[in-house]
Structure 1
Amino acid sequence: MSTDAIKRPTYGNWRRPRRPGLGPLGLLGTVVAFGGLLVTLLASLVSLGAAIVVLAFTSVFLAPLALRTTDGRNVYQLLALRIGWMKRKANGSTTYVSGPLSRRPGGRFQPPGLLARTKMYEGRDAYDRPFGVIHHPGRNLYTLVLGCEPDGGSLVDPEQVDIWVASWGDWLSRLSHEPGLRGAQVVVETAPDTGTRLAAEVLPRIAPDAPAAARAVMEEVVERYPTASSEMHTYIALTYGPTGGPKRDVDDVITDLSMRLPGLLSGLVAAGGGAAHPLSAERIAEIVRVAYDPAVAPDVLSARAEHSTTSLDWADAGPAATVETVNTYTHDSGVSRTWLLTLAPRGTVRSSVLRGLLEPAPGTRRKRVSLVYRPIDPATSARMVEADRRAAHFMATSRGGMVQARASSEIRAAEQTAAEEASGAGLVEFSLMVTVTVDAEVDPQEAAITVRNLQAASRIQMRPADRMQASAFTCTLPVGILPWEHTLVPYQIREAL
Structure 2
Amino acid sequence: MSEQTTYTEPTYGNWRKPRTAGIGKLGALETWAMIVALIGLLFVFRLAGPIPGFVTLLVLGVALVAFTVRDRHGQSRISRMVAKRSHNKAARSRTNLYRSGPVGLIPGGTAQLPGLLAKSQLHQFVDSFDRPFALVFMPDTNHATVVIECEPTGMALEDPQTIDTYVANWGGWLADLGKQSDVVAASVTVETAPDFGVRLRQAVDTRRHPDASETVVAMMEEVKATFPQSAPVTRAFLAVTVTAWRQGSPRPRKVEDLGLDLAARLGKLTEHLEQCGAGDAHPVTAQTLCEVVRSAYDPAVAQHIAAAHAEGVTPALSWNDVGPLAHNAGWEWYRHDSGFSKSWVMSIAPRGEVFSNVLEAVLSPTGDVDRKRVTMLYRPVSAARAMDVAEKDVNDAKGRVTSTGNPNFRAIDEYSKTITTAREIAKDAGMVNFGCVITATIRNAEDALAVSYTMEDLAAESQLTVRPAYGAQDTAFTASLPLGLVLPDYVMIPAKIREAV
* TM bin (shorter chain): over 0.9
- The one of 182, 186, 200 equivalent to 1:184 is 186
Output the CA distance in 2 between the equivalents of 1:240 and 1:164: 25
CA contact (8 A) 1:340 1:464 kept: yes
- What is the SS of the residue equivalent to 1:106? helix
Give the superposition deviation at 1:70.
Answer: 1.9
CA distance in 2, matches of 1:295, 1:222: 20
Cα 1:467–1:404 change in 2 (3 A) is closer
Distance in 2 between the 1:299 and 1:434 partners?
25
Q: Residues 157-207 of structure 1: CA distance to partner in whole angstroms, max 9, x if unpaired?
A: 111000000000000111111222221111100012111122233332223
Is it true that 1:15 corresponds to 2:16 in the alignment? yes
Q: How far 1:66 sits from its partner (Å)?
A: 1.4
2:26 maps to what in 1?
Answer: 25
Q: How does 1:451-466 map to 2 (within 5 A)?
A: 451-466=455-470
Are the equivalent residues in 1 in contact too, given 2:67–2:78 (CA < 8 A)?
yes
The match for 1:352 among 329, 351, 357 is 357
Deviates more, 1:354-363 or 1:193-202: 193-202
Establish whether residue 431 from structure 1 lines up as the match of residue 432 from structure 2.
no
Cα pair 1:367 1:437 within 8 Å, conserved: yes
* Aligned partner of residue 429 in structure 1, secondary structure: strand
Matches of 2:330 and 2:44 in 1, distance apart?
49
TM-score by length of 2: 0.92
Match of 2:450 in 1: 446
Structure 1 segment 316-465 matched on structure 2, within 5 A: 316-396=321-401, 406=410, 409-465=413-469
Query: Any stretches of 5+ residues in structure 1 without a counterpart?
Result: none
- Distance (whole Å) between structure 2 residues aligned to residue 235 and residue 72 of structure 1: 30
Aligned residue number for residue 262 of structure 2: 257
1:56-455 equivalences in 2 (<5 Å):
58-241=60-243, 242-244=245-247, 245=249, 246-307=251-312, 309-396=314-401, 406=410, 409-455=413-459
Q: Which residue of 1 aligns with 2:476?
A: 472
Deviation for aligned residue 1:96? 1.1
Contact kept, 8 Å, 2:184 with 2:241, in 1: the verdict is yes
- Is the 8 Å Cα contact of residues 106 and 112 (structure 2) preserved in structure 1? no
Contact 2:345 2:436 in 1 (8 A): yes
1:321 partner letter: A
Deviation at 1:363, TM superposition (A): 1.4
CA distance in 2, matches of 1:125, 1:408: 49
- What CA distance in whole angstroms lies between the structure 1 residues aligned with 2:269 and 2:335? 36
The answer on whether the counterparts of 1:113 and 1:471 sit within 8 Å (CA) in structure 2 is yes
CA gap of 1:209–1:73, structure 2 versus 1, over 3 A, is same
Q: Tell me, which stretches of 5 or more residues in structure 2 are unaligned?
A: none
Cα offsets for 1:39-60 (capped at 9, x unmatched): 4556666564576676566545
Note the C-alpha offset of 1:398. 6.0
Tell me the TM-score normalized by structure 1: 0.93
Contact kept in structure 1, 2:22 and 2:400, CA below 8 Å: no
**Using a 3 Å threshold, how does the CA distance of structure 1 residues 110 and 398 change in structure 2: closer, same or farther?**
closer
Shift of residue 332, structure 1, vs aligned partner? 1.3
Separation (CA, whole Å) in 1 of partners of 2:162 and 2:474: 40
Shift of 1:75: 2.9
1:339 is paired with a residue whose SS is: strand
Secondary structure of residue in 2 paired with 1:436: strand
* Residue 6 of structure 1, CA deviation: 3.6
Task: For residue 411 of structure 1, report the CA deviation from its aligned partner.
Answer: 4.3
Q: Relative to structure 1, is the Cα distance of residues 133 and 51 closer, same or farther in structure 2, using a 3 angstrom cutoff?
A: same
Change (3 A) 1:174 1:478: same
User: What secondary structure sits across from 2:27 in the alignment?
Assistant: helix
> What amino acid is aligned across from residue 166 of structure 1 in structure 2?
A
CA change 1:95–1:394 in 2 (3 A) is closer
Q: Measure how far apart 1:414 and its partner are.
A: 2.6
Partner of 1:484: 488
- Preserved contact between residue 36 and residue 54 of structure 1 (Cα < 8 Å): no
Deviation at 1:137, TM superposition (A): 1.3
C-alpha separation between the residues in 2 aligned to 1:177 and 1:199? 48
SS of equivalent residue, structure 1 residue 442: helix
Please state how far the C-alpha of 1:28 moved relative to its aligned partner.
2.3
Q: Tell me which moved more, 281-290 or 370-379.
A: 370-379
Partner AA of 1:130 in structure 2: P
| SS of residue in 1 equivalent to 2:433 | strand
The 8 Å contact of residues 282 and 312 in structure 1, kept in 2 or not, is answered as yes
Q: Secondary structure at the match of 2:311?
A: helix
In the TM superposition, what whole-angstrom CA distance separates every residue of 1:4-25 from its partner, at most 9, and x where no partner exists? 6542221111111123433343
Question: Which 10-residue stretch deviates more, 128-137 or 197-206?
Answer: 197-206
Pick closer, same or farther for the CA change 1:399–1:93 going to 2, 3 Å: closer
The size of the alignment, in residue pairs, is 496
What is the CA-CA distance between 1:67 and the residue it aligns to? Answer: 1.8
Taking the aligned partners of 1:285 and 1:250, their CA distance within structure 2 comes to 19
State the distance in 2 between where 1:271 and 1:428 align. Answer: 17
Q: CA deviation at 1:234?
A: 0.4
User: Which one is further off, 227-236 or 482-491?
Assistant: 482-491
Q: Which amino acid aligns with 1:243?
A: R
Aligned to 1:34: 35
Contact 1:120 / 1:132 at 8 angstroms: preserved in 2? yes
Give CA-to-partner distance per residue, 1:309-332, whole Å, 9 cap, x none.
222111110111111221111111
Q: Quick one: distance in 1 between partners of 2:100 and 2:227? A: 37
Deviates more, 1:82-91 or 1:389-398: 389-398
C-alpha contact 2:24 2:404 (8 A) present in aligned 1 = no
What is the rounded CA distance, in whole Å, between the counterparts of 1:418 and 1:129 in structure 2? 40
Tell me the amino acid that sits aligned with residue 78 of structure 2. Y
TM-superposed CA distance for 1:208, in Å, is 3.2
Q: 1:367 offset after TM fit, Å? A: 0.5
